[in-house]
Amino acid sequence: MRIDRIDLYHVAMPLKSPWRTAYGEDAAIESVLCRLTSGSIDAWGEAAPFAAPCYSPEWAGGLFALCRDWLGPALLGQDIASGQDLQKRLAMFKGNLFAKSLFDMAWWGLEAKRKGKPLAQLIGGECRLVPVGADFGVMDNLDDLLAAVGKAAEDKFRRIKLKFRPGWDVEMVKAVRKAFPDVTIHVDCNAGYKIADLHVFKEIDDLGLAMIEQPLRYDDLIDHATLQKAIKTPVCLDESITSLEHVRAALKLGACKYINVKPGRVGGLTIARQIHDLCHAAHIPCWVGGMLESATGASYCLSLASLDNFTYPADIFPSERFYEEDLSDPPLLLARDKDGCPAIRVPEKLSKPHPDRLQKLTRQSATLQHSATV
């Protein structure tokens, strides 16, 4: 499939309310969308590394420039046979996995269109309902959190994730467990602790948590292995998972019993699928997380989540959770699975940006066109 044209858009999508993380507060999600054109077909991809290089070393403004000046020109006019072929052509550029994922996902979108198949089916999954979980960040007080968890439990969410930070940790999760003894709960530390904090994890080891997500720094695989050997609660790696090689190392070290795959963070669907297959063979269950992308990026996350070994409910949200109006159409809608639990259906067709909304939210754009097609 020859890439004849690449259109890039750096957008800022205003959130209903600011997104608070360990890294700061975002009023809008900054994302980059690309449209790849091959002959008469086109497809969209999206990568949302956020506005500042805090979640990862990448950031939306830098990603846009890199894709315009380096990655885009390396692909333009090239005949790209597979996701693996695309990855090989970009391999000379170090790191920059979100940027690579932008083109990798759009290539898969093109391939799905060319073959006339839903993307999920093309990669070995099916257009089924994907169970999704509820997530709660740091709140002003415990009463507010208990009320929110109570509502999510009533809503039959299959699992509840609690952000876990120094100052909002052991007492918080003990209070939630006491109030809701039977609900599936896990905590997400976003790399906020060190192995010297082992006592913190021992204190919550008897609470029957489903997992402890990313307790230590993203590059502390050895310390994660030490922690996993010292506690019975499964450790889940999230920020640490940036490549197939890191997964291989983590499994060999015994650093985790779960893996959270964000297709953007690992360089795209091609690598995310390889990670899925490796973990499947090693009996390590996985789940999919997103980056608050518009429905374009989220529809790729959902397609990935349709694979067999993504067994824990995903961190993928209906559009209305964060946005008054999704940049892309169709938006993601919350559905119910056969047990009445919240789920989102894997789309037959990937979402794409609505032209008017794209124009309104674009900060900068660029077009690269293969000279033979001008």
Compare residues 52 and 147 and give the one whose CB is closer to Mg ion. Answer: 52
Please state the closest distance from residue 256 (CB atom) to Mg ion, in A. 12
Compare residues 213 and 326 and give the one whose CB is closer to Mg ion. Answer: 213
Dihedral (C-alpha) 241, 256, 191, 57: value to the nearest 10 degrees? -10
Residue 116 burial class via C-beta count within 10 angstroms: exposed 0-12, middle 13-18, buried 19 and up? exposed
Which amino acid is located at 131 in the chain? Answer: P
Please state the closest distance from residue 209 (CB atom) to Mg ion, in A. 14
Of 163, 194, 232, 338, which one is the catalytic site residue? 163
For residue 35 the two structure tokens come to 């449209």
Is residue 211 close enough to count as binding Mg ion by CB under 5 A? no
Please state the closest distance from residue 191 (CB atom) to Mg ion, in A. 9
Compare residues 118 and 263 and give the one whose CB is closer to Mg ion. Answer: 263
Contact 133/106 with Cβ under 8 angstroms? no
Sheet with 160-163: list strands edge to edge: 134-136, 160-163, 185-188, 212-213, 235-237, 258-261, 286-288
Contact 107/44 with Cβ under 8 angstroms? no
Is 202 among the catalytic positions? no
Q: Hey, which residues does 47 pair with through a beta bridge? A: 32
Binding span for Mg ion by CB under 5 A among 12-20, 70-78, 185-193, 241-249? 185-193
Is 349 among the catalytic positions? no
Please state the closest distance from residue 188 (CB atom) to Mg ion, in A. 4
Please state the closest distance from residue 291 (CB atom) to Mg ion, in A. 11
Which amino acid is located at 84 in the chain? Answer: Q
Contact 2/364 with Cβ under 8 angstroms? no
Among 4, 26, 188, 223, binds Mg ion (CB under 5 A): 188
Of 100, 161, 257, 262, which one is the catalytic site residue? 262
Candidates 29, 32, 34, 33; CA nearest to 12 is: 29
Q: Hey, which residues does 14 pair with through a beta bridge? A: 28
Q: Residues binding Mg ion: what is the number (CB under 5 A)?
A: 3
Compare residues 10 and 161 and give the one whose CB is closer to Mg ion. Answer: 161
Is residue 164 close enough to count as binding Mg ion by CB under 5 A? no
Is residue 238 close enough to count as binding Mg ion by CB under 5 A? yes
Compare residues 70 and 168 and give the one whose CB is closer to Mg ion. Answer: 168
Active site residues: 163, 262
Q: Which residues of the chain form contacts with Mg ion (CB under 5 A)?
A: 188, 213, 238
